[in-house]
Chain A
Amino acid sequence: MEALKIEGTENTPHIDLNHNDHSLLFEGDSRPENVQQFFNPIIAWLEEYSKHLYFLKDLNNASIAIECNFKFEYFNSSSAKYIMDIITKLSKLDPSITLNINWHYEEMDEDMQEAGEEFEDMMGIKFNFIVD
């Protein structure tokens, strides 16, 4: 498989998904004109990644730790639906894999903080909250 890198624009986030060092980054504003078109390749990549991890963990018996950073400045409500799908995919990975979800927000942005807390509650996974 290949890494997925999408440059950010004013309305779409910078995406950097790397299966080699297991780092996932979502950063910036998210309110794409066509939300499905933007997020479908990301969901498809995560499905590939999930298969990749399945073989990888059998292969080298090594411990795998995923570092996932959400650094959104803003996301609209239709993006929220996809962010939840992304977190759902991650939550279904093999429990032997360490999953670190870092939810970044600016101190004054209580909506972004709350959005992270809501996802954490809904998915039942612990997030690390980081004030930038």
Chain B
Amino acid sequence: MTGNIFDLYKTMKSDKIICAYHGNFNYDVVNGLLKTAKINLANPENNRTSAKKTYNILVECLENIHKHSEHGEEKTNEAIFLLTQPVDGFSITVGNLMPASEVAALGKNIDELNNMTREELKAHYSTIIKNGKISERGGAGLGMTDIALKARSKLNYTFNDYSDDEQFFSLSVHIKNK
């Protein structure tokens, strides 16, 4: 085990991972992670605009997991999150299991957002915020659109086979320094 953690340390160092977590995502955990990320992002050497933007996007990404990734018999929100600092900015990657039956709709939603111009994204956001209702899970249905608007870059995503009825969904958002 000590050897494994050394490997993990080397990977985290070489991949410039400044914050990472794997486990259950409840509200308190999300709060703790945001606080930790905020401290790391506040490093005075960082570009302040992209650091603040990264925080803004991170909140939506982590809240998305907290609100939407409940799965399995025990209804856990097990997921993984990485915040990395490539030379040109920051990168957020999150991954969680989700019902295979919901994969197609989510993929279609992200593809549509990726194909929108900035003006179309704004119009889309405006339509949802004006007509949407707050769901039982406390979401306004705006999360992914909000992420796309703030990121100003395409949202990268992948689905991996996990079990007969579950897929592993990963989302990566790259925030470039200004």
CB within 8 Å of B: which residues of A?
Answer: 10-11, 31, 33-36, 74, 76-78, 80-81, 84, 106, 108-111, 114, 118, 121-122
Q: A25: shortest Cβ distance to chain B, in Å? A: 22
Q: Does B99 contact A (CB under 8 A)?
A: no
Q: Counting chain B CB atoms within 10 Å of each CB, which of A11, A74, A76, A106 scores highest?
A: A76
Given the known A-B contacts A31-B59, A109-B52, A110-B53, are A122 and B130 also in contact in the complex, defined by CB atoms under 8 Å?
yes
Which residues of chain B have C-beta atoms less than 8 A from A76's C-beta? 59-60, 63
Q: A33-B27, A76-B60, A77-B146 are in contact. Are A111 and B53 (CB under 8 A)?
A: yes
The reply on B72 being an interface residue by CB < 8 A is: no
- Could you tell me the distance between the alpha carbons of A111 and B51 in the complex, rounded to whole angstroms? 12
CB distance from A13 to the nearest CB of B (A): 14
Q: How many Å lie between the Cα of A116 and that of B94 in the bound state?
A: 28
A81-B134, A109-B49 known; 4 new pairs, CB 8 Å cut-off, are A74-B59, A77-B146, A78-B139, A118-B122
Instruction: Check if A34 sits within 8 Å of B49, measured CB to CB.
Output: no
Task: Please pick, from B122, B125, B126, B140, the residue contacting A78 in the complex, using a CB distance under 8 A.
Answer: B140
Map CB proximity to A onto B15-37 as digits: 1 under 8 Å, 0 otherwise. 00000000000010001000100
B residues near A (Cβ < 8 Å) are 27, 31, 35, 48-49, 52-53, 55-56, 59-60, 63, 122, 125-126, 129-130, 132, 134, 138-140, 142-143, 145-146, 149-150
Contact partners of A34 in chain B: CB under 8 A: 138
Cα distance A33–B29 when bound, in Å? 12
Cross-chain contact A10 with B31 (CB below 8 angstroms): yes
Q: Which residue of A lies closest to B56 (CB)?
A: A111
Name the prevailing secondary structure of the A interface residues.
helix
Query: Looking at chain B's contact residues, is the secondary structure mostly helix, strand, loop, or mixed?
Result: helix
From known contacts A84-B129, A108-B48, A122-B130, infer whether A78 and B142 are also in contact, taking CB-CB under 8 Å: yes
B56 touches A80 (CB 8 A): no
Q: Can you identify 5 A-B contacts, CB atoms within 8 angstroms?
A: A74-B56, A77-B139, A81-B132, A108-B52, A111-B56
CA distance A84 to B27 in the complex (A): 24
A106 to B138, CA, bound (A): 28
Give the distance to chain B from A100, nearest Cβ to Cβ, in Å.
Answer: 23
Q: Taking A11-B31, A34-B138 as contacts, is the C-beta distance between A118 and B125 under 8 angstroms?
A: yes
Chain A residues with Cβ below 8 Å from B35 are: 10
Complex: A77 Cα to B138 Cα, angstroms: 10
- Alpha-carbon gap, A111 to B54, bound state (A): 10
Are B138 and A111 in contact (CB-based, < 8 A)? Answer: no
Residue of A36, A106, A108 with highest tally of chain B CB at under 10 A:
A108
> What is the CA–CA distance of A31 and B63 in the complex, to the nearest angstrom?
9
| A118-B126 in contact (CB<8A) | yes
In contact, B138 and A81 (Cβ under 8 angstroms): no
